[in-house]
A and B are shown apart, each in its own frame.
Chain A
Amino acid sequence: MSVESAPTLPFSAPMIDDGSRFSERDFVVAAQRGDERAFAELVRRHQRRAYAVARAIVLTHEDAEDAVQEGFLHAFRALDRFRSDQPFGAWLNRIIANAALDLVRRRKVRDADELPDSLALPFRDPGESDELRRRLREALTELPDRQRAVIVMHDVEGFTHGEIGAMLGIPEGTARSDLHHARAALRRMLKDVRSN
Protein backbone atom coordinates (compact mmCIF):
# COMPACT_ATOMS: atom_id res chain seq x y z
CA MET A 1 0.00 0.00 0.00
CA SER A 2 2.25 2.72 -1.22
CA VAL A 3 1.19 6.32 -1.02
CA GLU A 4 3.92 7.88 -3.15
CA SER A 5 1.56 10.39 -4.72
CA ALA A 6 0.03 11.40 -1.42
CA PRO A 7 1.58 14.01 0.83
CA THR A 8 2.66 13.00 4.29
CA LEU A 9 0.01 13.49 6.94
CA PRO A 10 0.99 15.66 9.88
CA PHE A 11 1.84 12.92 12.30
CA SER A 12 4.36 10.17 12.57
CA ALA A 13 3.45 6.75 13.77
CA PRO A 14 4.17 3.09 13.18
CA MET A 15 3.16 2.04 9.69
CA ILE A 16 1.18 -0.87 8.42
CA ASP A 17 3.30 -2.49 5.76
CA ASP A 18 0.91 -4.68 3.79
CA GLY A 19 -2.73 -3.80 3.25
CA SER A 20 -3.76 -7.27 2.16
CA ARG A 21 -3.10 -8.79 5.59
CA PHE A 22 -5.36 -6.44 7.48
CA SER A 23 -9.09 -5.99 7.78
CA GLU A 24 -10.78 -2.64 7.56
CA ARG A 25 -11.17 -2.60 11.32
CA ASP A 26 -7.39 -2.94 11.65
CA PHE A 27 -6.92 0.07 9.40
CA VAL A 28 -9.44 2.10 11.38
CA VAL A 29 -7.79 1.25 14.70
CA ALA A 30 -4.35 1.99 13.25
CA ALA A 31 -5.59 5.30 11.83
CA GLN A 32 -7.02 6.18 15.22
CA ARG A 33 -3.56 5.57 16.66
CA GLY A 34 -2.14 7.98 14.11
CA ASP A 35 -0.99 5.71 11.31
CA GLU A 36 -0.97 7.89 8.22
CA ARG A 37 -0.83 5.02 5.74
CA ALA A 38 -3.80 3.37 7.38
CA PHE A 39 -5.89 6.49 6.85
CA ALA A 40 -4.65 6.76 3.26
CA GLU A 41 -5.77 3.18 2.73
CA LEU A 42 -9.20 4.03 4.14
CA VAL A 43 -9.40 6.96 1.72
CA ARG A 44 -8.45 4.68 -1.17
CA ARG A 45 -11.04 2.09 -0.21
CA HIS A 46 -13.91 4.48 0.36
CA GLN A 47 -13.41 7.42 -1.98
CA ARG A 48 -15.52 6.01 -4.83
CA ARG A 49 -18.48 5.33 -2.60
CA ALA A 50 -17.98 8.69 -0.91
CA TYR A 51 -17.97 10.39 -4.30
CA ALA A 52 -21.19 8.57 -5.24
CA VAL A 53 -22.90 9.74 -2.04
CA ALA A 54 -21.79 13.33 -2.53
CA ARG A 55 -22.61 13.28 -6.24
CA ALA A 56 -26.18 12.21 -5.49
CA ILE A 57 -26.69 15.22 -3.24
CA VAL A 58 -24.90 18.11 -4.93
CA LEU A 59 -25.55 19.44 -8.40
CA THR A 60 -22.14 19.24 -10.02
CA HIS A 61 -19.13 16.97 -10.25
CA GLU A 62 -16.91 19.74 -8.90
CA ASP A 63 -19.11 20.20 -5.84
CA ALA A 64 -19.05 16.45 -5.28
CA GLU A 65 -15.25 16.53 -5.24
CA ASP A 66 -15.30 19.43 -2.76
CA ALA A 67 -17.78 17.62 -0.53
CA VAL A 68 -15.69 14.44 -0.60
CA GLN A 69 -12.53 16.30 0.40
CA GLU A 70 -14.35 18.22 3.12
CA GLY A 71 -16.03 15.05 4.34
CA PHE A 72 -12.76 13.13 4.62
CA LEU A 73 -11.23 16.06 6.51
CA HIS A 74 -14.14 16.00 8.97
CA ALA A 75 -13.81 12.23 9.31
CA PHE A 76 -10.09 12.55 9.96
CA ARG A 77 -10.73 15.11 12.69
CA ALA A 78 -13.51 13.03 14.22
CA LEU A 79 -11.64 9.73 14.01
CA ASP A 80 -11.06 9.56 17.76
CA ARG A 81 -14.83 9.69 18.27
CA PHE A 82 -15.50 6.77 15.92
CA ARG A 83 -16.42 3.55 17.73
CA SER A 84 -14.70 0.70 15.95
CA ASP A 85 -17.59 -1.68 16.62
CA GLN A 86 -19.75 0.07 14.00
CA PRO A 87 -19.25 -0.07 10.22
CA PHE A 88 -16.73 2.54 9.13
CA GLY A 89 -18.32 2.94 5.70
CA ALA A 90 -21.73 3.87 7.08
CA TRP A 91 -20.16 6.34 9.52
CA LEU A 92 -18.07 7.88 6.77
CA ASN A 93 -21.01 8.08 4.35
CA ARG A 94 -23.02 10.02 6.92
CA ILE A 95 -20.17 12.50 7.27
CA ILE A 96 -19.80 12.81 3.50
CA ALA A 97 -23.56 13.29 3.12
CA ASN A 98 -23.53 15.99 5.78
CA ALA A 99 -20.65 17.75 4.03
CA ALA A 100 -22.58 17.58 0.74
CA LEU A 101 -25.81 18.83 2.33
CA ASP A 102 -23.87 21.65 3.94
CA LEU A 103 -22.39 22.56 0.56
CA VAL A 104 -25.85 22.57 -1.02
CA ARG A 105 -27.12 24.88 1.74
CA ARG A 106 -24.19 27.24 1.30
CA ARG A 107 -24.66 27.25 -2.47
CA LYS A 108 -28.34 28.05 -2.04
CA VAL A 109 -27.57 31.02 0.18
CA ARG A 110 -24.84 32.26 -2.14
CA ASP A 111 -26.60 31.65 -5.42
CA ALA A 112 -30.08 32.58 -4.30
CA ASP A 113 -30.48 34.89 -7.30
CA GLU A 114 -28.94 32.58 -9.86
CA LEU A 115 -31.01 29.55 -10.61
CA PRO A 116 -29.02 26.92 -12.49
CA ASP A 117 -30.13 26.47 -16.08
CA SER A 118 -29.43 22.80 -15.94
CA LEU A 119 -27.82 20.10 -13.93
CA ALA A 120 -24.21 19.53 -14.88
CA LEU A 121 -23.64 15.96 -15.94
CA PRO A 122 -19.98 15.80 -16.88
CA PHE A 123 -19.63 12.24 -18.08
CA ARG A 124 -21.58 11.84 -21.26
CA ASP A 125 -22.44 8.63 -22.94
CA PRO A 126 -22.06 9.23 -26.69
CA GLY A 127 -24.66 6.55 -27.42
CA GLU A 128 -27.37 8.27 -25.47
CA SER A 129 -29.76 10.48 -27.32
CA ASP A 130 -29.14 14.18 -26.87
CA GLU A 131 -32.82 14.74 -26.35
CA LEU A 132 -33.17 12.26 -23.50
CA ARG A 133 -29.99 13.56 -21.88
CA ARG A 134 -31.14 17.17 -22.11
CA ARG A 135 -34.61 16.40 -20.84
CA LEU A 136 -33.28 14.27 -18.00
CA ARG A 137 -30.98 17.12 -16.99
CA GLU A 138 -33.89 19.52 -16.90
CA ALA A 139 -36.11 17.06 -15.09
CA LEU A 140 -33.51 16.44 -12.39
CA THR A 141 -33.18 20.18 -11.88
CA GLU A 142 -36.94 20.36 -11.39
CA LEU A 143 -36.92 17.70 -8.68
CA PRO A 144 -36.66 18.80 -5.05
CA ASP A 145 -33.09 18.32 -3.76
CA ARG A 146 -33.96 15.52 -1.40
CA GLN A 147 -35.99 13.56 -3.94
CA ARG A 148 -33.16 13.85 -6.45
CA ALA A 149 -30.66 12.63 -3.87
CA VAL A 150 -32.88 9.72 -2.87
CA ILE A 151 -33.55 8.49 -6.41
CA VAL A 152 -29.88 8.69 -7.36
CA MET A 153 -28.75 6.98 -4.16
CA HIS A 154 -31.29 4.22 -4.61
CA ASP A 155 -31.55 3.62 -8.34
CA VAL A 156 -27.99 4.48 -9.31
CA GLU A 157 -25.91 3.60 -6.25
CA GLY A 158 -28.08 0.84 -4.82
CA PHE A 159 -28.36 2.11 -1.26
CA THR A 160 -31.28 0.79 0.77
CA HIS A 161 -33.99 3.08 2.11
CA GLY A 162 -32.59 2.66 5.60
CA GLU A 163 -29.08 3.63 4.50
CA ILE A 164 -30.41 6.62 2.60
CA GLY A 165 -32.46 7.69 5.61
CA ALA A 166 -29.43 7.45 7.86
CA MET A 167 -27.27 9.47 5.48
CA LEU A 168 -29.82 12.20 4.83
CA GLY A 169 -31.14 12.31 8.38
CA ILE A 170 -34.69 11.35 7.43
CA PRO A 171 -36.89 8.41 8.44
CA GLU A 172 -36.76 5.33 6.23
CA GLY A 173 -40.41 5.79 5.31
CA THR A 174 -39.69 9.31 4.10
CA ALA A 175 -36.89 8.02 1.89
CA ARG A 176 -39.27 5.44 0.48
CA SER A 177 -41.92 8.05 -0.15
CA ASP A 178 -39.39 10.44 -1.75
CA LEU A 179 -38.25 7.69 -4.08
CA HIS A 180 -41.81 7.00 -5.14
CA HIS A 181 -42.52 10.69 -5.81
CA ALA A 182 -39.22 11.22 -7.63
CA ARG A 183 -39.85 8.26 -9.92
CA ALA A 184 -43.37 9.41 -10.64
CA ALA A 185 -42.18 12.95 -11.37
CA LEU A 186 -39.42 11.78 -13.73
CA ARG A 187 -41.82 9.45 -15.50
CA ARG A 188 -44.28 12.28 -15.93
CA MET A 189 -41.70 14.81 -17.10
CA LEU A 190 -40.02 12.41 -19.54
CA LYS A 191 -43.16 10.77 -20.82
CA ASP A 192 -43.13 12.34 -24.28
CA VAL A 193 -39.45 11.78 -24.92
CA ARG A 194 -39.80 8.17 -23.78
CA SER A 195 -42.71 7.56 -26.13
CA ASN A 196 -40.57 8.85 -28.99
Chain B
Amino acid sequence: MRDYLKLHDDNSGADPAVTDALRRAYAAPPDDGYWASLEARILSRIAEGAYRIDWWDELDRWMRPALVAAAVVLLAAGIALFRQYQVEQQTAYEAMLTPAPSALPVETAVRPVLQESRETTFRYLMTP
Protein backbone atom coordinates (compact mmCIF):
# COMPACT_ATOMS: atom_id res chain seq x y z
CA MET B 1 0.00 0.00 0.00
CA ARG B 2 2.81 2.38 0.88
CA ASP B 3 4.45 1.73 -2.48
CA TYR B 4 1.16 2.44 -4.17
CA LEU B 5 0.83 5.71 -2.29
CA LYS B 6 4.36 6.67 -3.22
CA LEU B 7 3.65 5.98 -6.87
CA HIS B 8 0.53 8.13 -6.82
CA ASP B 9 1.59 11.22 -4.96
CA ASP B 10 -0.36 14.45 -5.17
CA ASN B 11 1.07 15.62 -8.46
CA SER B 12 1.52 12.43 -10.40
CA GLY B 13 -0.78 12.08 -13.36
CA ALA B 14 -2.09 15.63 -13.23
CA ASP B 15 -2.17 17.38 -16.59
CA PRO B 16 -1.45 21.07 -15.92
CA ALA B 17 -3.61 22.22 -18.83
CA VAL B 18 -6.57 20.12 -17.66
CA THR B 19 -6.08 21.29 -14.11
CA ASP B 20 -6.05 24.92 -15.30
CA ALA B 21 -9.21 24.34 -17.30
CA LEU B 22 -10.83 22.72 -14.28
CA ARG B 23 -9.91 25.67 -12.08
CA ARG B 24 -11.39 28.10 -14.58
CA ALA B 25 -14.50 26.00 -14.93
CA TYR B 26 -15.06 25.71 -11.20
CA ALA B 27 -13.96 29.21 -10.26
CA ALA B 28 -16.25 30.70 -7.65
CA PRO B 29 -18.05 33.91 -8.57
CA PRO B 30 -15.56 36.72 -7.94
CA ASP B 31 -18.15 39.42 -7.34
CA ASP B 32 -18.50 40.46 -3.67
CA GLY B 33 -22.11 41.37 -4.34
CA TYR B 34 -22.83 37.75 -5.17
CA TRP B 35 -21.50 36.61 -1.79
CA ALA B 36 -23.42 39.26 0.08
CA SER B 37 -26.54 38.08 -1.71
CA LEU B 38 -25.78 34.41 -0.95
CA GLU B 39 -25.18 35.25 2.71
CA ALA B 40 -28.53 37.02 2.87
CA ARG B 41 -30.24 34.03 1.28
CA ILE B 42 -28.56 31.62 3.69
CA LEU B 43 -29.64 33.66 6.71
CA SER B 44 -33.11 34.05 5.27
CA ARG B 45 -33.33 30.28 4.77
CA ILE B 46 -32.24 29.74 8.36
CA ALA B 47 -34.76 32.28 9.62
CA GLU B 48 -37.52 30.46 7.69
CA GLY B 49 -36.35 27.00 8.61
CA ALA B 50 -35.51 27.52 12.28
CA TYR B 51 -39.12 27.33 13.42
CA ARG B 52 -40.26 24.79 10.87
CA ILE B 53 -40.52 21.40 12.49
CA ASP B 54 -38.63 18.90 10.48
CA TRP B 55 -40.20 15.62 11.48
CA TRP B 56 -37.28 13.61 10.26
CA ASP B 57 -34.94 15.69 12.37
CA GLU B 58 -37.28 15.25 15.33
CA LEU B 59 -37.38 11.51 14.78
CA ASP B 60 -33.64 11.50 14.43
CA ARG B 61 -33.33 13.38 17.71
CA TRP B 62 -35.52 10.82 19.50
CA MET B 63 -33.97 7.83 17.80
CA ARG B 64 -31.11 7.29 20.23
CA PRO B 65 -33.09 7.57 23.50
CA ALA B 66 -35.81 5.40 21.96
CA LEU B 67 -33.26 2.74 21.04
CA VAL B 68 -31.77 2.83 24.53
CA ALA B 69 -35.23 2.55 26.11
CA ALA B 70 -36.14 -0.32 23.80
CA ALA B 71 -32.90 -2.09 24.66
CA VAL B 72 -33.57 -1.68 28.41
CA VAL B 73 -37.13 -3.01 28.04
CA LEU B 74 -35.89 -5.97 25.99
CA LEU B 75 -33.20 -6.69 28.56
CA ALA B 76 -35.69 -6.55 31.43
CA ALA B 77 -38.12 -8.78 29.53
CA GLY B 78 -35.31 -11.20 28.78
CA ILE B 79 -34.25 -11.35 32.42
CA ALA B 80 -37.86 -11.87 33.55
CA LEU B 81 -38.39 -14.67 31.04
CA PHE B 82 -35.15 -16.31 32.05
CA ARG B 83 -36.08 -16.13 35.74
CA GLN B 84 -39.50 -17.60 35.00
CA TYR B 85 -37.90 -20.38 32.99
CA GLN B 86 -35.50 -21.08 35.88
CA VAL B 87 -38.36 -21.27 38.38
CA GLU B 88 -40.30 -23.64 36.13
CA GLN B 89 -37.26 -25.84 35.68
CA GLN B 90 -36.64 -25.92 39.41
CA THR B 91 -40.26 -26.80 40.13
CA ALA B 92 -40.25 -29.57 37.56
CA TYR B 93 -36.98 -30.92 38.92
CA GLU B 94 -38.26 -30.93 42.48
CA ALA B 95 -41.49 -32.59 41.37
CA MET B 96 -39.49 -35.34 39.74
CA LEU B 97 -37.44 -35.95 42.86
CA THR B 98 -40.44 -36.02 45.22
CA PRO B 99 -41.73 -39.62 45.60
CA ALA B 100 -45.25 -40.17 44.37
CA PRO B 101 -47.75 -40.59 47.21
CA SER B 102 -48.84 -44.23 47.85
CA ALA B 103 -52.33 -45.37 46.97
CA LEU B 104 -54.89 -43.90 49.25
CA PRO B 105 -57.03 -46.34 51.24
CA VAL B 106 -60.44 -46.74 49.70
CA GLU B 107 -63.32 -47.31 51.99
CA THR B 108 -66.31 -49.04 50.53
CA ALA B 109 -69.64 -49.30 52.15
CA VAL B 110 -72.98 -50.48 51.04
CA ARG B 111 -75.78 -48.21 51.73
CA PRO B 112 -78.03 -49.95 54.17
CA VAL B 113 -81.13 -48.49 52.62
CA LEU B 114 -80.18 -49.74 49.20
CA GLN B 115 -79.37 -53.20 50.59
CA GLU B 116 -82.71 -53.37 52.37
CA SER B 117 -84.53 -52.27 49.26
CA ARG B 118 -82.79 -54.93 47.17
CA GLU B 119 -83.65 -57.66 49.73
CA THR B 120 -87.22 -56.51 49.88
CA THR B 121 -87.52 -56.77 46.10
CA PHE B 122 -85.89 -60.16 46.15
CA ARG B 123 -88.22 -61.40 48.86
CA TYR B 124 -91.19 -60.08 46.95
CA LEU B 125 -90.16 -61.92 43.85
CA MET B 126 -89.41 -65.13 45.66
CA THR B 127 -92.54 -65.10 47.66
CA PRO B 128 -95.06 -67.48 46.11
Contacts and interface: CB of A to CB of B under 8 A. Distances in A.
Interface stretch (A82-90, A104-112, A148-156): A148-156
A9 B49 CA distance: 10
A8 B50 CA distance: 12
Contacts of B27: 123, 125
Given A55-B28, A128-B21, A43 B42 contact: yes
What's the interface size class on A, roughly? 35 or more
B18 A194 contact: yes
B45 interface: yes
A105 to B, nearest CB: 15
A190 B24 CA distance: 16
Interface in B30-72: 35-47, 49-51, 54, 57
Contacts of B47: 7-10
B127 interface: no
What's the interface size class on B, roughly? 35 or more
Interface stretch (A12-20, A21-29, A44-52): A44-52
A173 interface: yes
A interface majority secondary structure: helix
Given A48-B28, A56-B26, A156-B26, A9 B18 contact: no
Contact of B41 (A9, A69, A128): A69
A184 B31 CA distance: 34
A167 interface: no
B95 interface: no
B44 A65 contact: no
A164 to B, nearest CB: 12
B13 A180 contact: yes
B25 interface: yes
B1 interface: yes
Contact of B35 (A47, A55, A69): A47
B22 interface: yes
Contacts of B21: 128, 132-133, 136
B51 A10 contact: yes
A186 interface: yes
Interface of A: 3, 5-11, 39-40, 43-44, 47-48, 51-52, 55-56, 65, 68-70, 72-73, 76-77, 121, 123, 125, 128, 132-133, 136-137, 140, 151-152, 154-157, 173, 176-177, 179-180, 183-184, 186-187, 190, 194
10 contacts: A9-B50, A52-B28, A69-B42, A72-B45, A77-B50, A132-B17, A140-B25, A154-B10, A157-B26, A179-B8
Interface of B: 1, 5, 8, 10, 12-15, 17-19, 21-29, 35-47, 49-51, 54, 57
Shortest 4 CB-CB distances between A and B: which pairs? A6-B43, A183-B13, A125-B24, A69-B45
